[in-house]
Amino acid sequence: MRLMPLLYSIWLLPQAAKEQALQAVIDGLADQHGTVRFQPHLTVGGSLRNIAALDAASAYVKQSGLLPLTATVTGVASGAESPFRAVFVEIENSPPLQDFRKTLRDLTGAGELHTPHVSLLYTLDRNTQQPMPRWRAASRRPPC
């Protein structure tokens, strides 16, 4: 059996009041569908293979003066291309957010920048942590 390399993502966390509201939605969907619960976050970069690069990212975030960022919701969507983006809130890739994300990608060597989003449902089975077979096919959409 071949082991998959560990990949890391860079998240921004919502402020406390918004975090509690999002956590309630995430937990409710996870319980309804038998999937994993996770911490609410805005994914700003992913497919990072070198964990040591997170030190450079952390230093940049602390000195940038860009936080807290204000994010604009543009919609809610679903998809089957990734179990980490089954149901998610789409976030406008505003110029400040786009610049922030590009700089983090350049500093860390992270992969392609996906549309900024806040996931609401992962399609990972709560017990096995594996993608749920009924949502693997690209033609299927998770129910909400």
User: How far lies 14's CA from each of 11, 70, 117, in Å?
Assistant: 10, 10, 12
| pLDDT at residue 141 greater than cutoff 60 | no
Q: How far apart are CA 44 and CA 112, in angstroms?
A: 11
User: Structural domain boundaries of the chain?
Assistant: 8-135
| pLDDT at residue 26 greater than cutoff 50 | yes
Q: How far apart are CA 98 and CA 72, in angstroms?
A: 13
Residue 124's DSSP bridge partners are: 131
Q: How far apart are CA 73 and CA 18, in angstroms?
A: 13
Q: Tokens standing for 67?
A: 């936080």
**pTM of the predicted model as reported, rounded to 2 decimal places:** 0.80
**Residues 56-100: tens digit of each pLDDT:** 888 998 898 888 888 899 999 988 778 788 899 999 999 989 999
CATH 3.30.420.40 for domain 8-135 = no
